[in-house]
Amino acid sequence: MNLMISPLSQTPIYAQLEAQLRQNILSGELSANEALPSIRALAKELGIGIITVKRAYDDLCSEGLLVSLQGRGVFVAPMDSERARQIRMAQLAEKLRDIRQYCDSSAITREELIDAIQKIYEEEFL
């Protein structure tokens, strides 16, 4: 696992950590049942707050990506490929919403957007 936090980013630190942990889990970099560092150890390693790490762990626990076992630590939840795909699709939808917002504010129509995506796949954009 490789994590890096930028305190100057517009993205809150806990959200950066969540996104990177999520990516590590979905990519298989972190495997099922693998133990994560303790909250305090990770806070020290990354040079960030204890509560910040706790929040990232808590959020990923409620997403079902991590499980916290009382007194034993935090582990990567076992995940089937169906669930991993659901999460990836949810992330894609999030990115597409940004793109749609951009299109709406730039007077780009739905058809033009779909056409642009098509062209990217055909590698002859612009």
Distance CA 97, CA 103 (A): 10
Residue 14 interacts with other proteins (CB under 8 A): yes or no: yes
Q: Binding of other proteins at residue 60 (CB under 8 A)?
A: no
User: What is the SS3 assignment for 68?
Assistant: strand
Contact stretch for other proteins (CB under 8 A) within 24-32, 41-49, 58-66, 72-80 = 41-49
Place of tokens 């993205």: 11
Restricted to residues 70-109, the positions that interact with other proteins (CB under 8 A) are: none
Q: Minimal distance in Å, beta carbon 114 to other proteins?
A: 29
Nearest distance from C-beta of residue 55 to other proteins, angstroms = 6
- Rounded to whole angstroms, the Cα distance separating 82 from 19 reads 20
Both structure tokens of 103 = 């299109």
Q: Kindly state the smallest distance separating residue 22's Cβ from other proteins, in Å.
A: 18
Least separation in angstroms between CB 42 and other proteins: 11
Q: What is the C-alpha to C-alpha distance for residues 87 and 81, in angstroms, rounded to an integer?
A: 10
Query: Taking the C-alpha atoms of 4, 10, 15 and 16 in order, what is their torsion angle to the nearest 10 degrees?
Result: -10
Tell me which residues touch other proteins (CB under 8 A).
Answer: 7-8, 10, 12-14, 40-41, 43-44, 47-52, 55
